[in-house]
Amino acid sequence: MGVRSQVTANSPGAAPRPDQITVLAGLIAIIAAAWVYLLLGAGIEMDKMDMGGGDIMPMMPEWTSGHAALVFLMWAVMMAAMMLPSAAPAIVQLVSLAERSVERPYRIPATLFFVTGYLMVWTGFSFAATFLQWTLDSRNLLSETMAIRDGVIAALLVLAVGLFQLTPWKRTCLRRCRSTMRSLSEDQLRSVGAIWRLGLRDGVSCLGCCWALMCLLFVGGLMNSFWMVAIAFWVFAEKILPWGDRVSFLGAAGLVAW
């Protein structure tokens, strides 16, 4: 029987290991590149309509296959930018665990399989979000900022997200997300497939915990940088901070009151 070792954070003041530094630097580079791509517009250019008198009104482009691909890419990059920061502690700790169970040349590639599994789940969500955006836009429910036009619908969406924050489903998925680092063991790293499945499992827990918060982007505007950053910080606080469960409850109360 394999010896089971729980993953724990490095003790305060302990120097990070070389492999951990490499993985952390790679994560920071990916996250930074994703945010730069989003802040530069994600390659989506608005059409313009001349309203006369020098007034120009921006309009959403037609839904061609090319535009749909850009929207899907926007969502996929957005999910990586917003979710990887909160997954980074588990990913870096996975490197520490791999040092005791995986040969050195394969430690970082093994971690990449975990990240791949994690992002595959959010890529699937990006596909669903793209379809939802197309559905709303085809019914003229989205403004030029890609936010819901109707105030009543937007209010109902905010209320629904707030109530979801109080459900047992949310609490269970959040608890699983917060316990990822404590529940991993060396026995689970016996193969590349097992590591990939760990990433999938963590991604599913995070999706169950955070999917509703992502729907708030349809309230503030899909390319609104303030909303993207605010939700990313919210997710990070819920999953990483010691009082993250309180953040979830207070956020729910705030949304319902709003």
Distance CA 162, CA 4 (A): 39
* Boundaries of every domain in the chain: 18-257
The amino acid at residue 194 is A
| C-beta separation of 109 from 201 below 8 A | no
Q: What pLDDT, in 10s, does the model give residues 98-127?
A: 665 555 555 667 788 889 999 999 999 999
| C-beta separation of 89 from 181 below 8 A | yes
Q: What pLDDT, in 10s, does the model give residues 168-226?
A: 999 998 888 887 655 555 555 566 677 888 889 889 999 999 999 999 999 998 888 89
